[in-house]
Structure 1
Amino acid sequence: MKPPAIDYYIIATINEQEKHFKVVQLQTTEDVPCYACFIGETEIRQLRKETYGKWEKLWGNLDNNTIQFIGSQIMEKTTPP
C-alpha cells in the first residue's frame, strides 16, 4: 500500500526574504520520497533525503543551509508524533 499524498505548506527564509512554499511528495521509480517545492503554481526546486541522512537538491538554486532547513521542516510534517 502506498502512503497518502503529502501536500502542505512550510515557511523558509531565502535571500533574506520569508517565502511560503507548498510541498508535494512525488512518486519516484526508486521508492525514495522526493519533494517538489512550489511558490504559487511555479515549481522552484526538488529535494530528497539521501540514504546517508543528508538532504540534497535534485535541481533548483539553494545553499546547503537552506536545503537542510527545508528538509527539517519536511521531516516535521512527515514524521508521526
Structure 2
Amino acid sequence: MKSSHKEFYIIAEIDQQKKHIKVIGLETSDGVPYYSCLLGEDEISQVRKETYGGWEQLWGDLSHEAVAQIGEEIEKQVTPT
C-alpha cells in the first residue's frame, strides 16, 4: 500500500471567486481515494468521486457546483494523459 500522499494545486470558483486550492490525495483504510481541499492552512472540504461518476462532498459546506468544479480540476491532475 502506498503511504505517500499526492499534493497539488488547483484553481476553482468558490462563492463567485476563483481560489487557489491545495489538494491532498488520501485514501480510506480500504483503499478508496478521497481528497482534502485547503485554502491556506484551513481545510474547507473533503471530496471523492463516487461509483456513479459524480463528485460528492464528504465534509464541508461547499455548493454542489463548487464540488463539481473541484472534482473536474482534480481529475485533470490525477488522470494520466
Given the two structures, how large is their TM-score scaled by the length of structure 1? 0.90
Report the CA distance between 1:13 and its aligned residue.
Answer: 1.1
SS in 2 for 1:58: strand
Which SS does the other structure have where 1:76 is aligned?
helix
> 26-35 or 52-61, which moves further after superposition?
26-35
Q: Deviations over 1:19-72 (max 9, x none)?
A: 110000113113111100001111110000011111000011111111111101
Take 2:53 and 2:23, find their aligned partners in 1: how far apart are those partners? 19
Change over 3 Å in CA distance of 1:18–1:6 after alignment to 2: same
Runs of 4+ in 1 over 6 A off after TM superposition: none
Please give the residue correspondences for 1:1-81 in structure 2 after superposition, counting only pairs within 5 Å.
1-2=1-2, 4-81=4-81
Identity %: 49
RMSD over aligned Cα, in angstroms? 1.4
TM-score for the superposition, normalised by structure 2:
0.90
Structure 2 unaligned blocks of 5 or more:
none
